[in-house]
Amino acid sequence: MMRTFYISGPMTGIPDFNFPAFLQAEETLRRILPGVIVLNPAKDVNGETHHPREDYLRIDVRMVTESTDVLLLPGDEYSRGAALERLVAREIGVRLWRLSKDDLFETLVPWDLPDASCTAWEAVTRILSRGVTKHDPGGWRREGPGWHLRRVARHAVTALDLVGSSRTHDGEPALDHAERALTRAALALAGGGL
């Protein structure tokens, strides 16, 4: 299969459906990876925005399944559609990438591993912002150690329950819950939010 990138990111509620960011990402992928196939939801539906959201999600998920890689645009952690695309990609073994923070649109780094330019704040934000469709996206920043410790226990128990199975809890596998448990434990030891 030829290397094929799907571009994933927030659209709903963003001016122009965030199409300029999707178009810039496509241009950048073609520049830094000559010959790559790019599946761009901003273009592959002919720029149409009048159909029901579910229709676009069906098309997007199909495009993810036809990809070898997914590029996650900034803000993807706040998008339910991007969360679905990320989940599908992870479940079928499609690689996830993000753009480097230091050299915007020039360097691709693995989505799940902080690169050297990623600060502790960015890493914690990325980990704890997953699942924001259920909670206040920034609420964890305001909470104290006790709040984080209660959630350490909840995430640890959930992770242990899911280990060794293909099951998920709220669409998230065991590794996500274990990662959150460890991150929250570190926050609790540091005295709460950052």
Beta carbons within 8 Å of 11's beta carbon, 6+ residues apart: 17, 18, 19, 41, 42, 79, 81
Per-residue CA distances from 157 to 26, 29, 49, 51, 162 (Å) = 41, 40, 42, 41, 9
Put simply, whether the predicted model's pTM sits higher than 0.85 gets the answer no
- Percentage of residues in the chain having pLDDT higher than 90: 21
In the numeric block, the tokens 């079928």 are attached to: 92
Count of C-beta atoms within a 10 Å radius of residue 94:
20
Q: Is the pLDDT of residue 116 over 50?
A: no
Confidence of residue 123 (pLDDT cuts 50, 70, 90): low
Per-residue CA distances from 28 to 25, 90, 113 (Å) = 5, 23, 21
Give per-residue pLDDT as tens, 3-36: 999 999 998 888 988 999 999 999 988 988 889 9
* CA separation for the pair 129, 64 (Å, rounded): 22
Beta bridge partners of 110: 97
User: What domains appear along the chain, each with residue ranges and CATH number?
Assistant: 4-110 (3.40.50.450), 120-189 (no CATH)
Burial of 92 (0-12, 13-18, 19+ CB in 10 A): exposed
The per-residue pLDDT of the chain, averaged, comes to 77
Nearest to 85 by CA among 16, 2, 22: 22
- Give the SS3 label for residue 169: strand
